[in-house]
């Protein structure tokens, strides 16, 4: 039985008959559609919908993407990612093809069905514990990205993901920047694994907690500096300095507690600057309490969700429930209202 949510012509952004790749709204809608296609691809596998019975290809072929490779997790044999190649027809308007990718590598998030939930929940836990980079799923993703970049060049490869898939894309994107390649990266509802302070309604209380946390983290960071780093090479080894020029796209719904922490994370930086505590926040924003404790115990733990710079896109509409707030389909809604802000770490 095929659900309507899996059928592109019913649930997908089929209104985009002529994509302008220079338009941010068009790019967001198309890339979100592709990520949904990865979810449907795994459903195809589970329900033995093969060949012409498969409904996943419509989610990307409508936009002239074609399947180049499928990423399969060796632990549960589930399909978690795709490598797609864009092949625009010769009649496609030249002005609309500007800024289009050559390859798009996309990753799905957690599926709760019996075939996938054990493995996906295990990786969700690894994400929370900052151990996702040790998983075979992530390592396969990195090898695939490396091979695609080697073949097509970094300017022609984009990354995308939703939820757990967004965490994979984010971590892989960070690794590529450290290798010297800044890949355009689209992160939908990316997990923010620190305490969800966005759920505190009292603004003064929430701000007070943020300030106390920043001062504590800055103090711990300064105290542990000599132990965690070779002082003379601190700036050279600082991941924030390396990543500061990379601007991934972060798509966040305030009603989704999985990703809403990014609103406070970036907004608090501006608050600290306004009250003259920018230097404290510059230290604090690089760390979580967990990462500082790991440093004290001589364990290397770079928190996944910490980002120096990003373009934050916030869904300003109302969502009925958590499922809608966390779902990928909100990002191709033609009536979507968003607010965008660019944060750059100096």
Q: Mapping DSSP to helix (H, G, I), strand (E, B) and coil, where does residue 312 land? A: strand
Among 91-100, 221-230, 268-277, 285-294, which range has the highest average pLDDT? 91-100
Q: Whole-angstrom Cα distance, residue 288 to residue 296?
A: 13
pLDDT reported for residue 220: 45
Report the chain's mean pLDDT, rounded to a whole number.
85
- State mean pLDDT over 312-319: 95
Residue spans of alpha helices (H) in 252-311: 261-274, 278-284, 289-296
- Domain coordinates of the chain in residue numbers? 4-188
- State mean pLDDT over 136-149: 98
Of the candidates 123, 116, 47, which has an alpha carbon nearest to the alpha carbon of residue 76?
116
- Distance of CA 96 to CAs 18, 34, 40, 302, 304, Å? 8, 19, 28, 39, 35
Of residues 239 and 199, more confidently modeled: 239
- State mean pLDDT over 20-35: 97
Of residues 57 and 208, more confidently modeled: 57
pLDDT at 187 over 80: yes
Give the pLDDT band (50/70/90) at residue 238: confident
CB 132 within 8 A of CB 54: no
To the nearest whole percent, how much of the chain has pLDDT over 90? 68
CB 282 within 8 A of CB 244: no
Give the pLDDT band (50/70/90) at residue 285: low
pLDDT digits (tens, 9 = 90+) for 75-108: 999 999 999 999 999 999 999 999 999 999 999 9
pLDDT reported for residue 234: 41
How many contiguous H segments (helices) and E segments (strands) does the chain have?
14, 8
Of residues 136 and 50, more confidently modeled: 136
Q: Residue 341: exposed, middle, or buried by beta-carbon count in 10 A (0-12, 13-18, 19+)?
A: middle
Q: What's the length of the chain?
A: 346
Of the candidates 153, 188, 148, which has an alpha carbon nearest to the alpha carbon of residue 168?
188
Give the pLDDT band (50/70/90) at residue 225: low
Q: Whole-angstrom Cα distance, residue 167 to residue 154?
A: 20
Of the candidates 72, 178, 78, which has an alpha carbon nearest to the alpha carbon of residue 120?
78
Query: Treating both helix axes as pointing N-terminal to C-terminal, what angle do 164-178 and 117-128 enclose, rounded to 10 degrees?
Result: 50
pLDDT reported for residue 346: 77
Q: Whole-angstrom Cα distance, residue 126 to residue 256?
A: 20
Give the pLDDT band (50/70/90) at residue 309: very high
As given in the structure block, the two tokens for residue 130 are: 């900052």
pLDDT reported for residue 314: 98
- State mean pLDDT over 236-245: 77
pLDDT at 295 over 80: no
pLDDT reported for residue 300: 54
Q: Which residues contact 200 (CB under 8 A, 6 or more apart)?
A: 206, 209
């Amino acid at each position: 039985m095929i659900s309507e949510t899996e059928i592109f012509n019913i649930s997908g952004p089929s209104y985009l008959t002529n994509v302008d790749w220079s338009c941010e709204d068009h790019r967001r809608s198309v890339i979100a559609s592709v990520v949904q296609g990865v979810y449907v691809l795994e459903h195809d596998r589970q329900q033995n919908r093969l060949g012409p019975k498969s409904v996943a290809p419509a989610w990307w072929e409508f936009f002239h993407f074609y399947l180049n490779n499928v990423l399969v997790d060796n632990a549960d044999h589930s399909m978690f990612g795709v490598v797609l190649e864009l092949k625009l027809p010769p009649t496609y308007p030249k002005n609309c093809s500007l800024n289009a990718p050559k390859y798009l590598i996309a990753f799905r998030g957690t599926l709760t069905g019996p075939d996938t939930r054990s493995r996906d929940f295990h990786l969700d836990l690894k994400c929370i514990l900052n151990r996702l980079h040790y998983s075979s799923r992530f390592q396969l993703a990195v090898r695939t990205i490396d091979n695609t970049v080697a073949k097509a060049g970094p300017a022609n490869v984009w990354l995308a993901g939703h939820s757990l898939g967004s965490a994979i894309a984010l971590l892989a994107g960070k690794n590529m920047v450290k290798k010297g390649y800044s890949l355009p990266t689209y992160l939908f509802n990316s997990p923010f694994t620190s305490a969800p302070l966005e759920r505190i309604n009292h603004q003064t209380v929430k701000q007070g907690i943020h300030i106390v946390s920043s001062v504590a983290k800055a103090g711990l960071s300064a105290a542990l500096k000599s132990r965690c780093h070779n002082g003379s090479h601190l700036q050279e080894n600082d991941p924030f300095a390396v990543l500061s020029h990379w601007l991934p796209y972060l798509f966040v719904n305030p009603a989704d507690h999985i990703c809403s922490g990014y609103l406070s994370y970036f907004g608090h930086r501006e608050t600290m600057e306004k009250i003259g505590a920018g230097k404290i926040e510059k230290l604090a924003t690089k760390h979580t309490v967990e990462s500082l404790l790991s440093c004290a115990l001589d364990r290397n733990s770079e928190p996944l969700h910490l980002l120096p710079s990003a373009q934050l896109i916030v869904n300003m509409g109302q969502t009925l429930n958590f499922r809608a707030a966390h779902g990928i389909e909100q990002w191709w809604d033609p009536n979507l209202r968003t607010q965008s802000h660019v944060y750059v770490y100096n």
